[in-house]
Amino acid sequence: MRRYRHFYSIINSSNVFLNRLYKYQRPLNDAEMGKSLQLLIRFDKGEWMITLTDVENEVIAFEWLETGEYLDEQTMKAYLEKFLQGYNYDVGNAHLVICGEQFHFFPSGFSSENEDWAITINNVDNAVERLITEPLDNNTLELIYSIPESLIRVLDAVPLNFEITHQASIFYNEQSNASYQDAVCICLYRNYALVQAIVNGETFFLKRIPWKTQDDLLFEVMSLFKHFSMDPIEVPLYAGGMITQGSPVFHLLQRYIRDVFVVEYSSFQLLSHLPDLHENHLIEKV
């Protein structure tokens, strides 16, 4: 696997107590010259990540800022503008992926039929937010979440048309395409997991859960099996993200669930080029 080197610096900010900035850039190869590239922004509490990739999803440049809190509008705008100016490439597709922990999914048409019903997502404290309704792959469900209006203004200020989606909808659509009948699916990230329960081919549970220890994760997974009366001897668990066969968390889950399958989620690869490398010590500090 390619080893990435990063430049590490502590950046003082009046708005954010501590920022860690990781940067990487490589030159374009001959095959990439003259071709439009893809820009992806990952927005989450404590993370602001901008990634530039080629059509094969290989990383060309990135900036990954760890803050511990959400960035304010001025800081987001400054980082995005500086990135686009510094890596003066031809960007064809631009994507914003929201990784906020609070979202809801309902039958399709719910939001239009309940105009007076309000969701309070509170992704950002005391922020004015815009409610987003995103149809899921089979068009029978819709995911509802919100994003700060300040982030919308930041994106509107650059000459790119951003496609906005939520991390949970990408994860859901992958399970929908897999056509599972009865299953529990999880995707592990550094300090949280996306979990989904599928019963008779339909999703009954989709949530982001925090986890700090392997026992935390085991409790949440086994609670899903129990809540939906699924037998862990009969119903499989599909696990992806930061888990491998032979890893301690894999062995722990396998003690309680007969069939644990490690799968590759493209949603995890798409969003985790850099945290994944960082967590597996493939990014060297300089």
Q: Are residues 264 and 193 in the same domain?
A: yes
Q: Are residues 156 and 188 in the same domain?
A: no
**CB-based burial label for 95 (10 Å; 0-12, 13-18, 19+):** middle
Closest CA relative to residue 62, chosen from 76, 74, 48: 48
Tokens encoding 211:
């986890």
Of the residues 135, 169, 203, which one is the last residue of a structural domain?
169
Helical H segments across the chain, by residue range: 73-86, 110-113, 149-156, 167-178, 214-227, 248-256, 266-271, 273-279
- How far apart, in whole angstroms, are the C-alpha atoms of residue 72 and residue 69? 9
Of the residues 101, 134, 169, which one is the last residue of a structural domain?
169
Give the CATH number of the domain where residue 205 resides.
Answer: 3.30.420.260
Q: Are residues 203 and 165 in the same domain?
A: no
Contact 32, 60 (CB under 8 A): yes
| Other Cβ atoms closer than 10 A to 116 | 4
pLDDT at 284: 37
pLDDT at 63: 81
b/e code 65-83 from CB counts within 10 Å (16+ = b): bbbeebbbbebbbebbeeb
The answer to whether residue 275 sits within a structural domain is no
Q: Are residues 26 and 158 in the same domain?
A: yes
The answer to whether residue 278 sits within a structural domain is no
Q: Are residues 208 and 92 in the same domain?
A: no
Tokens encoding 140:
């029978």
Give the CATH number of the domain where residue 7 resides.
Answer: 3.30.420.250
Q: Are residues 98 and 235 in the same domain?
A: no
* Residue span of the structural domain in which 24 resides: 1-169
pLDDT at 35: 74
pLDDT at 12: 34
- How far apart, in whole angstroms, are the C-alpha atoms of residue 95 and residue 108? 24
- Residue in this structure with the two tokens 């939520």, named with its chain if needed: 166
The answer to whether residue 237 sits within a structural domain is yes
pLDDT in tens, the chain (286 residues): 333 333 222 233 334 444 677 777 778 777 777 677 889 888 887 778 888 888 777 788 888 787 777 778 888 888 888 888 877 677 888 999 888 778 888 877 765 555 544 454 445 555 677 888 888 876 788 888 888 888 899 999 988 899 999 988 888 888 887 888 999 999 998 788 999 999 998 888 888 888 889 999 999 999 999 999 999 999 999 999 888 898 999 999 999 999 999 988 766 665 554 444 444 433 433 3
Q: Are residues 149 and 61 in the same domain?
A: yes
Entry field: residues in the chain: 286
- How far apart, in whole angstroms, are the C-alpha atoms of residue 31 and residue 181? 42
pLDDT at 261: 95
Q: Are residues 212 and 164 in the same domain?
A: no
- How far apart, in whole angstroms, are the C-alpha atoms of residue 163 and residue 21? 25
Tokens encoding 235:
């119903």
The answer to whether residue 286 sits within a structural domain is no
Domain count across the chain:
2
Q: Are residues 23 and 82 in the same domain?
A: yes
